[in-house]
Amino acid sequence: MTGVLIVCGAPIGEPRDASPRLAEVLATADVVAAEDTRRVRRLAHALGVTIAGRVTSCYDAVEGARAATLTEYLLAGQTVALITDAGMPAVSDPGFRVVAAAAVAGVPVTVVPGPSAVTAALAVSGLPSDRFTFEGFLPRRGGERRSRLRELAAERRTMVFLEAPHRLASSLADLAAVFGADRAAVACRELTKKWQEIVRGDLGRLAGWATDGREIRGEFTLVVAGAAAGPRRLGFADLAEMSANPGNSIPQDAVLDDLRPPGPPTAAELAAAVAHQEAAGLSRAEARRAVMDHFGVSRAAVYEALVASRASDAKGR
């Protein structure tokens, strides 16, 4: 007879949020697989229980190997409790591989629901929550992060992101550049803890808040409003006109018309398209490549268009 894998949601800060069932599982499981063995022992102490079973670590770097070992315990009839430092295992935390291995082996998997930073932040954000998407952690590298955000720029549902303190400022800056500084957002940290902080505003304000000299501590949950309905669609002639007039700015949420203008693009249209892509958060090199792909023109053609645009701007001054 096989055992059972119990996926345990842990409090995200306040131990009193734990259910009596979690305390019971920690006290009776044959094996407790924890992201941090010291933290799970502290949690058990706070809940007034003693972990009688074997305690083993199951963090990111060892999860693959632990999945095989834990499956052996389960097939031998033991009860295994899987728990992370906070929140639900497998949701931007270790646990997916363990659950998948148990399921493949035909072992029953059940769950002890618990607090979630995602739903807690969504609930206090005041942003629409009837439909939302959880995006987890953004890529660490700036170029990859901006590319991911460009994929999400037109997402209509509220989005929830997680971010580490040392990447918060750069991520907020990229969010503001790609989504637009006026997109509503809420930053939450240390939810349910003594130093809980909830900062509301728009992405521009949050980006400024994160770079005003304060010390950024604790993992953040960012809740960002979805894109407004019907973003303004611009043809390349519109972009060329806007680019030619320094007093006109290209809207951050503008969508380029998918239809190319008849005939080959003019230098002004190419330059305007590059300017639009840069305004959306692409680097100069990324913007050039995007325009080359869209129009089917060479790198030299785009370069010459930019040179001609700069020369025209210089004469206008």
Average pLDDT over residues 248-270: 59
Confidence of residue 269 (pLDDT cuts 50, 70, 90): confident
Task: Determine the Cα–Cα distance for residues 224 and 212; give it in Å rounded to an integer.
Answer: 21
Give the model confidence (pLDDT) of 196-233 as tens digits: 999 999 999 999 999 988 888 889 999 999 998 765 55
User: What's the pLDDT at 28?
Assistant: 97
- Comparing 137-141, 200-204, 265-269, which segment has the lowest mean pLDDT? 265-269
Going by C-alpha positions, the residue among 142, 150, 228 that lies closest to residue 183 is 228
| C-beta atoms surrounding 22 within 10 Å | 25
pTM above 0.85, yes or no: no
What is the side-by-side strand order in the sheet with 31-34? 54-57, 31-34, 79-83, 4-8, 109-112
Most distant CA pair in the chain: distance in Å?
84
| C-beta atoms surrounding 105 within 10 Å | 15
Task: Determine the Cα–Cα distance for residues 183 and 273; give it in Å rounded to an integer.
Answer: 23
Q: Is 256 helix (H, G, I), strand (E, B) or coil?
A: strand
Q: Is 98 helix (H, G, I), strand (E, B) or coil?
A: helix
Tokens of 314: 């210089």
CB 127 within 8 A of CB 223: yes
| CA distances from residue 47 to 42, 127, 255 in whole angstroms, order as listed | 9, 34, 53
**In degrees, to the nearest 5, what angle opens at C-alpha 163 toward C-alphas 190 and 92?**
90
Instruction: Using the Cα atoms of residue 183, residue 138, residue 68 and residue 82 in order, give the sign of their dihedral.
Output: negative
> What CATH superfamily is the domain 4-115?
Tetrapyrrole methylase, N-terminal domain (3.40.1010.10)
3-state helix, strand, coil in the chain (%, to 5): 45, 20, 35
- Domain map (residue ranges) of the chain: 4-115, 118-224, 233-316
Domain with residues 118-224, CATH architecture: 2-Layer Sandwich (3.30)
Give the model confidence (pLDDT) of 279-290 as tens digits: 766 778 877 887
Average pLDDT over residues 8-16: 94
Going by C-alpha positions, the residue among 119, 130, 134, 94 that lies closest to residue 191 is 119
* Identity of residue 238: D
